[in-house]
Amino acid sequence: MSEKSRFVRVLAGAVLACVFFGAWPSQAAENKPPPAAARQNGKIVGIVTAKSDKDIMVKAEGESGAKRYLLAPQAGSAPSADVRAALKMVFPTDLVVLQWQGEQEPVVTAIQAIHSKTRFGMVAGTVVAVEAGGNMPCFDVKPRGQGYTERYVPQWDVKAKGWNKSVVNAIAGLNVDDKVKVGWSYDERKRAAQVQVLSRPKPKRVEKEETPDQTP
């Protein structure tokens, strides 16, 4: 075999090897799963509806129901030190800012309660939810103009050792879409001292179907 033929064969083999081994990593890269950093995450503002040592339920602004968020990514594991410290200042019915990560079972990465800067106040707005029964009667009000929806519970009557009965009765008479004015006090959560209904939505008019005249 001539030196020229031998050189051509060696060169052709080298080219094929480069093509084969060069294409292999690119094909593997196509099948490689997305990095962990691409996992879904987000941030919401909402009302805490329940809390345990494993999870927290938060009703995000504009949503009709609450969603469950885990406090730690794995069963039996503890939340991070920052989350544990923040949770000590979070109570059911509080308004919070919550950051989360994950898809099917989102996990809390940060949470902060939005505490009132004043002990007393007044708000006018629209009732968006009412829970008159249960151990803690409450109602949600979307304030007129700007502001997040907040949850209000009755004030505690120390003498009667129970909820303020007049406020409990007022909550029982509320309906979604009622326009209200609420006088409140703040102690870990917003407590309604008085509830005034300003207006109620007009009932929808039901048009009766005309029955044909069957007079002979």
Does residue 80 belong to any structural domain of this protein?
Answer: yes
Does residue 69 belong to any structural domain of this protein?
Answer: yes
> Which tokens in the block code for residue 172?
């029982």
Residues 99 and 55 in one domain: yes
pLDDT at 104: 84
Does residue 6 belong to any structural domain of this protein?
Answer: no
CA dist 68 and 72 (Å) reads 12
Domain-terminating residue out of 58, 78, 113: 113
Question: Please, which pLDDT band fits residue 25 given cuts at 50, 70 and 90?
Answer: very low
Residues 73 and 141 in one domain: no
CA dist 1 and 9 (Å) reads 11
What does pTM read for this prediction? 0.75
Q: What is the dihedral of CA 121, 118, 176, 200, to 10 degrees?
A: 20
Does residue 74 belong to any structural domain of this protein?
Answer: yes
Does residue 192 belong to any structural domain of this protein?
Answer: yes
Domain-terminating residue out of 94, 113, 132: 113
pLDDT at 134: 87
> Which letter, b or e, does each residue of 102-138 get, where b requires 16 or more Cβ atoms within 10 Å of its Cβ?
beeebbbbebebeebeeeeeebebbbbbbeeeeeebb
Does residue 56 belong to any structural domain of this protein?
Answer: yes
Domain that holds residue 148: 120-199
Question: Please, which pLDDT band fits residue 141 given cuts at 50, 70 and 90?
Answer: very high
Residues 136 and 161 in one domain: yes
Phi, psi for 49 (deg, rounded to 5): -100, -20
> Which tokens in the block code for residue 114?
């939005």
What Å distances lie between residue 184 and 28, 134, 153, CA to CA? 62, 21, 9
The predicted model gives 167-171 an average pLDDT of: 97
183-198 per-position pLDDT tens digit: 999 999 999 999 999 9
Question: Please, which pLDDT band fits residue 82 given cuts at 50, 70 and 90?
Answer: very high
pLDDT at 31: 53
CB 148 within 8 Å of CB 201: no
H/E segment holding residue 9: helix 3-30
CB 111 within 8 Å of CB 87: yes
> How are beta strands 120-131 and 107-113 bridged, if at all?
unpaired
Task: Give the chain's domain count.
Answer: 2
Domain-terminating residue out of 62, 87, 113: 113
Residues 109 and 176 in one domain: no
Residues 126 and 195 in one domain: yes
pLDDT at 79: 92
Residue 194 sits in a domain whose CATH number is 2.40.50.140
CA dist 216 and 201 (Å) reads 44
Residues 87 and 58 in one domain: yes
The predicted model gives 55-80 an average pLDDT of: 93
Non-local CB neighbours of 166 within 8 Å, separated by 6+ positions = 194
Q: Which of 152, 204, 210 is nearest to 180 (CA)?
A: 152
99-136 per-position pLDDT tens digit: 999 988 999 999 999 999 999 999 999 999 999 988 99
Does residue 124 belong to any structural domain of this protein?
Answer: yes
Does residue 1 belong to any structural domain of this protein?
Answer: no
Provide the residue type at 7 as one letter: F
What percentage of the chain exceeds 70 in pLDDT? 77
Alpha helices in 31-144 (DSSP H): 81-87
